[in-house]
Chains A and B, each alone.
Chain A
């Protein structure tokens, strides 16, 4: 602190605490709603203090799910979300690492052509090619499969650029030393480049896991089989049911469960998360 002005500091803390409360309030309400029974949740006003039904609701949600048509165990959806998030993040990292390696360490015809093709995917988010992409996936018979959920999303210009950036900072002499030591391209890639990039890989993984877990529009389009639903989609389905038979305690419990993995990742891997965000925006 540059000068000693206690009032300014106190003011700063007050504003920050208000900010934290503002950000956290919806989560608190979610938690409270998830800990009361179905009847209490529908009584106005909602209590501001948690009830004693948390674990009962948790069990009901995991095993049984919501009311009516949405009555399916959330456990399976969590599983689907996990598989999809893992496939998307691992897939993106793998294909991007390989292409960045090719583009940085080899001179070959069409090198820049490939680079630009990957670059252009930045300008083609799912939202602008919804229908035709759906048709392609349908023709390939990938509707309602994990492959269909993940593969169309694993091209990544951002990740490729980030790895390209990382590789460019690796000193040339390391490659030369490795060549003198007798390492070929793939050996160099696995023995030297990958271990040296592991922080970047981890940081990117954190970001991509959140990205994958939170996918919504894409799974909404290509899954009709309810056993393939992800938890994020499950919420939406419950909301629709809520119009007739509200089960807000289950919906809120599901929301908690659905946000838990990515939020935990952000909080406990904060440094990697921050690094990932700033790296991918370069």
Chain B
């Protein structure tokens, strides 16, 4: 944590941390405490006065079917994004690890969607699935399927999952590949001598050995699906149709900025904060284990 050798005490370290601490206090701690405080208030319809109501906002939320629906939707969305992008990435990484000479070339061609902004990813997929113009909608139509995510909630959900997963495959691929490449070659060779074929080696040697990475990615993917997909949803569906794709983060934004329900939005923020804290704790617990494992 601290170097054995350090500089003499002086005012200097305070100066050094000042910029970051100011930003932290002004733009993180103060707003977060405001969110906490506002979550205990109710404002009148004109925003002129507010009343302290203890946990009423939270009680309202937990008895609100809409909020509960958003919760379930977020869980489903996160699970689907994590599961699909991780399994595709795992297969691709497993293959890329095998084709030794071409590994880097494939890596180059697979990792760049990471750099595409969520909104842009949304725009690309929206264009391909546009019910009147989209090339994929057209192909589906040719097979007799009438695609319209603007009306069909299930289709809308499918589309945002695809767009979100597409962007995340590259990240998962990179970490899976790195984990596989760090497995000593001698282990794989020993298994081959023991008579295990490629598929068996993958499931009995490689997959168990990369478990820490898999858990790590699971956490990262869930965080991604929770918080970093706002742009995708905002571009493709705006939470619609009929709130079919309204996940928690989108709802906070919608209720706060569009609906101007300050107390309710703040209470939702507080719940999200709580979720982030739980995930962060899990992540750090887990990373400690990973260190031990290595």
Contact = CB atoms under 8 A, between A and B. Distances in A.
Q: Within the complex, are A and B direct neighbours (CB within 8 Å)?
A: yes
Interface of A: 1-3, 5, 8-9, 12-13, 15-16, 19-20, 23-24, 26-27, 29-30, 33, 41-42, 44-46, 48, 94-96, 98-99, 101-108, 111, 114, 117-118, 120-125, 127-133, 135-137, 140, 151-152, 154-156, 160, 167-168, 172, 175-176, 185-186, 210, 213-214, 216-217, 220-221, 232-233, 235-236, 239, 246, 248, 251-252, 255, 258-259, 262-263, 265-267, 270, 273-274, 277-278, 281-282
Contacts of B82: none
B83 to A, nearest CB: 17
Interface hub of B9, B112, B220, B231 (most chain A Cβ within 10 A): B112
B128 to A, nearest CB: 6
Interface stretch (B47-55, B64-72, B73-81, B118-126): B118-126
A63 to B, nearest CB: 21
A217 B272 contact: no
29 contacts: A2-B189, A16-B95, A19-B110, A26-B166, A29-B135, A46-B134, A99-B20, A103-B17, A104-B1, A105-B6, A107-B6, A111-B2, A114-B21, A117-B25, A123-B276, A124-B276, A125-B227, A128-B269, A130-B256, A130-B265, A131-B38, A131-B262, A131-B265, A152-B23, A232-B119, A267-B108, A273-B111, A278-B175, A281-B220
B29 A117 contact: yes
Given A16-B96, A270-B111, A23 B269 contact: no
A236 B111 CA distance: 24
Interface of B: 1-7, 9-10, 12-14, 16-17, 19-21, 23-32, 34-35, 38, 88, 91-92, 95-96, 98-100, 102, 106-121, 123-128, 132-135, 138, 166, 169-171, 174-175, 178, 188-189, 192, 198, 216, 220, 227, 230-231, 234-235, 249, 252-253, 256-257, 262, 265-266, 269-270, 272-273, 276-277, 280, 287
Contacts of B287: 282
Given A106-B7, A136-B30, A263 B112 contact: yes
Nearest to B216: A281
B16 to A, nearest CB: 4
Contacts, number: 296
A94 B192 contact: no
Contacts of A104: 1-3
Contacts of A94: 19
A239 B126 contact: yes
Contacts of B189: 2
A216 B135 contact: no
Nearest to A271: B104
B124 A255 contact: yes
B31 A135 contact: yes
B192 A133 contact: no
Contacts of B5: 172, 175-176
Given A239-B126, A266-B114, A270-B107, 10 more contacts: A46-B138, A105-B7, A106-B7, A106-B16, A117-B25, A128-B35, A210-B114, A214-B116, A232-B120, A265-B115
A230 B91 CA distance: 36
Contacts of A135: 31, 34
- The B interface is mostly helix, strand or loop, or mixed, namely helix
A252 B253 contact: no
Contacts of B23: 95, 151-152, 154-155
A136 B27 contact: yes
Contacts of A132: 30-32, 34-35, 38, 266
B255 to A, nearest CB: 10
Contacts of A45: 135, 138
Contacts of B135: 29, 45-46, 48
A267 B112 contact: yes
Contact of A262 (B95, B107, B116): B116
Given A19-B92, A127-B252, A270-B111, A30 B13 contact: no
Contact of A259 (B4, B35, B120, B166): B120
A151 B19 CA distance: 10
A233 B4 CA distance: 48
A249 B30 CA distance: 44
Closest A-B pairs by Cβ, 7 of them:
A132-B31, A132-B34, A262-B115, A214-B117, A102-B16, A106-B13, A102-B13
